Amino acid sequence: MKNVTIIVPCYNEEEMLPLFLKKAEELFIDNDKYSFDFIYVDDGSKDKTLEILREASLKSERISYISLSKNCGQDPALSAGLKKATGDCAIMIDCDMQDPPELIFRLLEKYEEGYDVVNPQRSKRETDTYFKKTSSGIFYRFVNKMAKKEVVPPNVSMYRLLSRKALDYLNSLPESDRIIRSEVPFIGLKTCYIKFERQQREAGKTKYNFHRMFDLGERTLVDSTTGLLTMVLKIGLLFSFVGFLGMLGCIIAYIIINTNLDIGTGSTYFHLIFALIIFVGILIVGVLSIVVYIPCMYLKVIHINTQNRPTYLIGEQFDSVRSIAHGEKSDKK
């Protein structure tokens, strides 16, 4: 019998978690082909998430949990779970049931066919807002264009199956700032996609506001490609070229047409040209700031990785598998 570890990150999910636990029990507890164990990662929740997990772990010997010392984000939460996964394969799944748990059996079929990475890919994104749909579509096209290859597959979330080999490779990556959605394509191995329709969140709300989405986008971009750095040069060349053409045009206009603008004090032209100079100046400062920010994005990541601090610390954990082995089921650390 093969062991499958299911890793579930939870942040303030007191409304969804009981529904997920119930569904998981219905679907996965009695199975003669696979033995499922669950690692729930409480990502520093402020609601009753941890209490629910403590209770659930006492009721089922298949449930372990890790509670992070504070809210660290979905990637660190998943990394904590991946490090503890003991199964022949592992599956990461959100607890809001937007990614249908029933699909896990189809992921396992593909695993049995020999795939190391099985990616459920959303066929449509009807459940997302117009803004999220459009921005993520543009973003993934942009990242892959910058990298000149598909470094991050579109419409694939964290919901994935990883074979033991893929899992070990992923756990062995040295960076402390983890971006799992670009690390999984990086490790390669035999990969396939299966289409599915993402469901509506049944309760609670999304934890990704604009600020978090922007931050995730920026880190994914930096993690996936250095193409942006070359873009700085391209932007510089473009602006120099446009500036040069404009300058040339002015000189030619002055010499050939011999424009005789009356720019004396009080004339309309004077105010117009003055305003134009100010706005062009502001535009240039804006573009320059954006261009300077691009290497800063890479510096930020270098800073985080050279600091080499752990991206999560564990506040409390309960390892059901180890406890069963040592006969200490109720001992919580």
Can you give the binding site for ligand UDP, defined by CB under 6 A? 9-11, 13, 43, 71, 73-74, 77, 94-96, 98, 206-208
Whichever of 79 and 98 has its CB closer to Mg ion, that residue is 98
Query: CB of 96: closest distance to Mg ion in angstroms?
Result: 4
Whichever of 94 and 116 has its CB closer to ligand UDP, that residue is 94
Total number of residues that touch Mg ion (CB under 5 A): 2
Q: What is the dihedral of CA 143, 214, 85, 153, to 10 degrees?
A: -20
Query: CB of 20: closest distance to ligand UDP in angstroms?
Result: 9
Out of Mg ion, ligand UDP, none, what residue 332 binds, judged by CB under 5 to 8 A for its kind, is none
Residue 155 engages Mg ion in binding (rule: CB under 5 A) = no
Q: State the DSSP H helix or E strand holding residue 307, giving kind and residue range, or none if neither.
A: helix 268-307
Whichever of 106 and 132 has its CB closer to ligand UDP, that residue is 132
- DSSP notation for 230-289: HHHHHHHHHHHHHHHHHHHHHHHIIIII-------TT-HHHHHHHHHHHHHHHHHHHHHH
Whichever of 138 and 282 has its CB closer to ligand UDP, that residue is 138
Alpha-carbon 226 to chain mean position: 18
Out of Mg ion, ligand UDP, none, what residue 4 binds, judged by CB under 5 to 8 A for its kind, is none
CA distance 71 to 145: 33
CA distance 320 to 62: 6
CB 110 within 8 A of CB 194: yes
Out of Mg ion, ligand UDP, none, what residue 11 binds, judged by CB under 5 to 8 A for its kind, is ligand UDP
Whichever of 14 and 88 has its CB closer to ligand UDP, that residue is 14
Length of the chain: 333
Site string for Mg ion, 83-102 (x = CB under 5 A): -------------x-x----
Inter-axis angle of helices 164-172 and 74-84, to 10 degrees? 120
Query: CB of 8: closest distance to Mg ion in angstroms?
Result: 12
Query: CB of 259: closest distance to ligand UDP in angstroms?
Result: 57
Query: CB of 324: closest distance to Mg ion in angstroms?
Result: 31
HSE-CB for 311 with a 13 A CA cutoff: 22
Whichever of 92 and 228 has its CB closer to Mg ion, that residue is 92
Out of ligand UDP, Mg ion, none, what residue 43 binds, judged by CB under 5 to 8 A for its kind, is ligand UDP
Task: Number of helices (H) and strands (E) in the chain: give both, helices first.
Answer: 11, 8
Whichever of 37 and 96 has its CB closer to ligand UDP, that residue is 96
Query: CB of 107: closest distance to Mg ion in angstroms?
Result: 18
Taking alpha carbons only, the member of 65, 62, 53, 60 closest to residue 34 is 62
Whichever of 66 and 228 has its CB closer to ligand UDP, that residue is 66
CA distance 243 to 209: 39
Residue 13 engages Mg ion in binding (rule: CB under 5 A) = no
Scan for tokens 């066929």, then name that residue: 123
Q: State the DSSP H helix or E strand holding residue 296, giving kind and residue range, or none if neither.
A: helix 268-307
Site of interaction with Mg ion (CB under 5 A): 96, 98
